[in-house]
Amino acid sequence: MSASAQLTNLLGLSVPQLESFCGEIGEKPFRARQLARWLHKNGVSEFAGMTDLAKSLREKLPAVACVQTPGIIHDNTARDGTRKWLFDVGQGNAVESVFIPETDRGTLCVSSQAGCAVNCRFCSTGKQGFARNLSAAEIVAQLWLANRLLGADTKGERIVTNVVMMGMGEPLLNYEQLVPALKLMLDDHAYGLSRRRVTVSTSGVVPFMDRLSQDCPVALAVSLHAPNDNLRDELVPLNKKYPLRELLDACLRYLDHAPRPFITFEYVMLQDVNDRDSHIQELIGIARHVPCKLNLIPFNPFPESGLLRSRDDRISRFVERLSAAGIVTTVRKTRGDDIDAACGQLAGDIKDRTRLAERSQSEKIVQWVPGRTS
Ligand code: SAH
Ligand code: SF4
């Protein structure tokens, strides 16, 4: 599956883009749909195996196109069945995808960037800084590879039923590559996932929330993490650019187009930082303004953060008081943390492998918190 620079990597082309590509090489538009089905539904990468394409096209394709995926550096399965892959995206950069099997669904957590420029206080991806945007092909390849490695058969039996853009990176800061990738996830000739089963998670890049609502309104999760501007400025530095009032108004505008009638607010629980009773009151105020569900995420510690996970009784108090106020509140289960696959533990710099290994040793000490769900 190697490629030279002149070849077009078909994995990243939405079906309309594949149609244009077919036009450019003198083929009819319907060939695009056939190609999409072979590539994405059947997971076939060899043109010779695409048996219902005209023989002349099968012979033409290798000179102009390729199907190229990142290499696999690690493939680990946790005790709870969570599976994590580390993919090589070149020049010392790597990104991670995590598959979370549940009885009624299989969720793939997909990365959008190598590193992240937003630099949230509690996030190990943020601590790495920003390396580069992934291409649409590199985003889709994570889903393509996961289906293949999980053993989806060639009839396209669904193993990954849901995609969440909650891996490394801020998806809305890689908008041009994100949208064709999302469109392929939704397209019936490709992965055919419903808009409710594809979620973009954002730290709150307001202008691109508006654009997404027009271009590809999938389910939206917003990383709130603080209920007032002073605290959010500290935890999510992007708040200085797009403060809460603007973010919440953008959520309301998004809801006019969203596939579900609520926004999911994510709220990482940090001991003595954002877990006080006064924060509960402020959160109730926000939830009165924006129809939402609240997903509390027990913080996954890493030593450099200097932060601790909220105590279990604080998390329970949040759930009780917010639920009593009529807000649907859930606590995210920590999955796959024995293989560093939990939220905010994704670290993808291969140059940094040694440090990563040291880190997971020290995490065994830090992660003593009782009541872990994994
Ligand atoms: N950049 C996007 C999506 C990737 S982060 C965003 O911020 O929404 C996915 C989720 O993991 C976010 O809600 C993020 O806040 C959360 N997260 C990051 N670091 C974490 C940590 N150490 N513990 C728990 N959750 C974390
Ligand atoms: Fe980037 Fe999201 Fe991590 Fe913030 S939480 S640094 S936006 S990946």
DSSP string for 72-119:
EEEEEE-TTS-EEEEEEEETTEEEEEEEEE-SS-EEEE---EEE-SS-
Question: Per-residue confidence at 368, pLDDT binned at 50, 70, 90?
Answer: very low
Tell me, what amino acid is at 357? A
Instruction: Please give the helix or strand (H or E) that residue 352 lies within, else none.
Output: none
CB 374, CB 339: distance < 8 Å: no
Q: What is the pTM of this model?
A: 0.91
| Tokens of residue 227, six digits | 């209920």
Q: Does residue 365 have a pLDDT over 50?
A: no
CA distance 347 to 362: 15
Question: Per-residue confidence at 350, pLDDT binned at 50, 70, 90?
Answer: very low
Question: Per-residue confidence at 273, pLDDT binned at 50, 70, 90?
Answer: very high
Question: Per-residue confidence at 6, pLDDT binned at 50, 70, 90?
Answer: confident
CA distance 277 to 279: 5
Tell me the pLDDT tens digit for each residue of 165-193: 999 999 999 999 999 999 999 999 999 99
Q: Which atom of ligand 1 is nearest to the CA of 169?
A: 1
Residue nearest to atom 8 of ligand 2 (CA): 169
pLDDT at 338: 72
Domain 71-350 bears CATH identifier 3.40.1160.10? no
Q: Does residue 229 have a pLDDT over 50?
A: yes
Question: Per-residue confidence at 232, pLDDT binned at 50, 70, 90?
Answer: very high
Measure CA 309 to chain center: 22
Name which of 263, 261, 279 is nearest 271 in CA terms: 279
Tell me, what amino acid is at 334? T
Angle subtended at Cα 135 by Cα 6 and Cα 113, rounded to the nearest 5 degrees: 145
CA distance 58 to 51: 8
Q: Which CATH number fits domain 8-66: 1.10.150.530, 3.40.50.10470, 3.30.70.1560, 1.10.490.10?
A: 1.10.150.530
pLDDT at 303: 82
Q: Which atom of ligand 2 is nearest to the CA of 238?
A: 7
H helices present in the chain, as ranges: 15-24, 30-36, 55-64, 124-127, 136-149, 175-186, 206-215, 229-235, 244-255, 277-289, 312-324, 353-366
pLDDT at 346: 57
What is the average pLDDT score of the chain?
89
Residue nearest to atom 18 of ligand 1 (CA): 344
Question: Per-residue confidence at 76, pLDDT binned at 50, 70, 90?
Answer: very high
Q: Does residue 372 have a pLDDT over 60?
A: no
pLDDT at 230: 98
If you measure from the C-alpha of residue 110 to the centroid of ligand 1, how many angstroms do you get, rounded to a whole number?
12
pLDDT at 343: 60
Q: Where are the domains of the chain?
A: 8-66, 71-350
Q: Which residue has the higher pLDDT, 357 or 238?
A: 238
SS3 171: helix
Exposed, middle or buried: residue 300 (CB in 10 Å: 0-12, 13-18, 19+)?
buried
Name which of 3, 163, 9, 110 is nearest 348 in CA terms: 110
List of residues 6+ apart from 228 with CB closer than 8 A: 244, 282
Question: Per-residue confidence at 353, pLDDT binned at 50, 70, 90?
Answer: very low
pLDDT at 347: 58
Question: Per-residue confidence at 349, pLDDT binned at 50, 70, 90?
Answer: very low
Q: Does residue 249 have a pLDDT over 90?
A: yes
Catalytic amino acids? 96, 343
Q: Does residue 290 have a pLDDT over 80?
A: yes
pLDDT at 4: 54
Ligand 2 residue neighbourhood (C-beta within 6 Å) = 116, 118-120, 123, 125-126, 169-170, 203, 223
| Tokens of residue 270, six digits | 């940090």
pLDDT at 341: 64
pLDDT at 51: 93
Ligand 1 residue neighbourhood (C-beta within 6 Å) = 122-123, 166, 170, 201-203, 223, 266, 268, 297, 299-300, 343-344
pLDDT at 196: 98
CA distance 201 to 372: 24
Residue nearest to atom 5 of ligand 1 (CA): 166
Question: Per-residue confidence at 243, pLDDT binned at 50, 70, 90?
Answer: very high
pLDDT at 217: 98
